[in-house]
A and B are shown apart, each in its own frame.
Chain A
Amino acid sequence: MMRMGLSSATHVLSLLCGLLLAGAAAATNPIEPLEFASETQRERYHDLIDEIRCTVCQNQSLASSDVPLAADLRSAVYRQIREGRADSEIRNFMRDRYGDFVLYTPPLAAHTFLLWAGPPLLLVAGALACVVMIRRRRRMLR
């Protein structure tokens, strides 16, 4: 009985390990062997597919998504890098088709002002609140 228990425990463990490995493999999407002219191009490719959103599964980047459209868009990025297009041109290519939403770093514009300025504004507001409170307390202590 004891041995049975032990072996089934190891079975479960190895199964879990297998699942973990499968998960890791699916997440990094390595099954697209790509050739680049230089290491810089490879880095640019990986940076771009990390910052372009997959519009189908909207909280994933092109790099982390497995849907067919993400694969198509990855190959569009790859093709354009091979053709010697600049990062900004590739970003514009995506934006012209899918809108600002496709970029994880949207441009600074009137409608994205709060998005960019919100955090620093909140920080300043918090700092001001701190200063006011500390001063008030000091006055009370005196």
Chain B
Amino acid sequence: MIRLALPLAIFALLLGLLLTGLFTADQRQIVQSPLIGQPMPEFSLPLLHEPDTELTRADLLGQPFILNVWGSWCPTCRDEHPWITRLGQESPATLVGLNWKDERADALRWLNAFGDSWDIQIMDYVGNTAIDLGVYGSPETFLVDHEGIIRHKHIGAINDAIYADLVQRIDQLIAASEGRS
């Protein structure tokens, strides 16, 4: 009996392992950012609408903000655009757009066509700030608290469920920043 049970048990164990692997493949595609809980990296990037002016990390500190990485070349960014528009209109936190590896003219044309509800737009043409942020695909949305610590990151398009989750997290960050002062 044991002679049969042992190989069968090993087989069942292996089968279970492989099946879990198969069904959790999508989750494992998302690379957990080591930057959650870390200070947002220093940067100095030109504004999309006024390229002669640069925005730095220090300019954003003091209250929580949302940093959304997008590009006119990114089809998923168009999919999530309705939610970004809503976020810009409804969220009390500053919505910062990080235009990633894009031609300025293309970005402006895109915003003209689909609408610009970001509060601030900065350009990372070379992509060094995006590397410092561990960006590997757009759209990506970061939530940063009033002290400049990255608290949350969502990779991929925003949908209804993600939107609700983001709004709740933003409210918590705002409450935390007000509780302090």
A residues whose Cβ falls under 8 Å from a Cβ of B: 55-56, 58, 68-69, 72-73, 76, 95-99, 101-102
B33 / chain A contacts, CB cutoff of 8 Å = 98-99
**How many residues of B sit at the interface, in one of the four size bands?**
10 to 19
The interface centre, meaning the residue of A68, A69, A96, A99 with most chain B CB atoms within 10 A of its CB, is: A69
A64 to chain B, nearest CB (A): 16
Q: A55-B31, A68-B101 are in contact. Are A98 and B136 (CB under 8 A)?
A: yes
A97 to chain B, nearest CB (A): 4
Nearest Cβ on chain B to A119's Cβ, whole angstroms: 15
Report B127 CB to chain A, min CB distance, Å.
5
CB < 8 Å neighbour of A56 from B35, B126, B132, B136: B136
In the assembly, what is the distance between CA of A15 and CA of B126, in Å?
Answer: 37
What's the nearest-Cβ distance from chain A to residue B60, in Å?
20
**Contacting pair A69 B31 (CB below 8 A):** no
6 CB contacts below 8 A, A to B, read: A55-B136, A56-B136, A68-B127, A69-B130, A72-B131, A98-B33
A68, chain B: closest CB distance, angstroms: 6
Give, as a whole number of angstroms, the nearest-CB distance from A135 to chain B. Answer: 16
By a CB distance below 8 angstroms, the chain A residues around B126 are: 72
Given contacts A56-B136, A68-B101, A98-B136, contact A73 B31 (CB under 8 A): no
Q: Are B34 and A96 in contact (CB under 8 A)?
A: yes
Q: How far is the CA of A96 from the CA of B41 in the complex (A)?
A: 11
Cα A72 to Cα B126 in complex, Å, equals 8
> Once the chains bind, are A98 and B101 in contact (CB under 8 Å)?
no
Q: Which residue of chain A is the closest to B137 with respect to CB atoms?
A: A56
Q: Answer whether residue B133 sits at the interface, using C-beta atoms and an 8 A cutoff.
A: yes
A69: contacting residue among B29, B127, B132, CB under 8 A: B127
Asked if B31 contacts A97 (CB within 8 A), the reply is no
Residue of B nearest to A100 (CB): B34
- Assess the B137–A97 pair: CB atoms within 8 A: no
Asked whether any CB of chain A lies closer than 8 Å to the CB of B134, the reply is: yes
Q: B34 contacts A97, CB within 8 Å?
A: yes
Shortest CB-to-CB span from A91 to chain B, Å, is 13
The smallest C-beta distance from A101 to any residue of chain B, in angstroms, reads: 5
List 9 tightest A-B contacts by C-beta distance, closest first. Answer: A55-B136, A97-B134, A72-B127, A99-B34, A101-B31, A98-B134, A55-B31, A56-B136, A99-B31
Residues of chain A within 8 A of B32, CB atoms compared: 99, 101
> B106-141, CB under 8 A of A: which get 1 and which 0?
000000000000000000001110111111110000
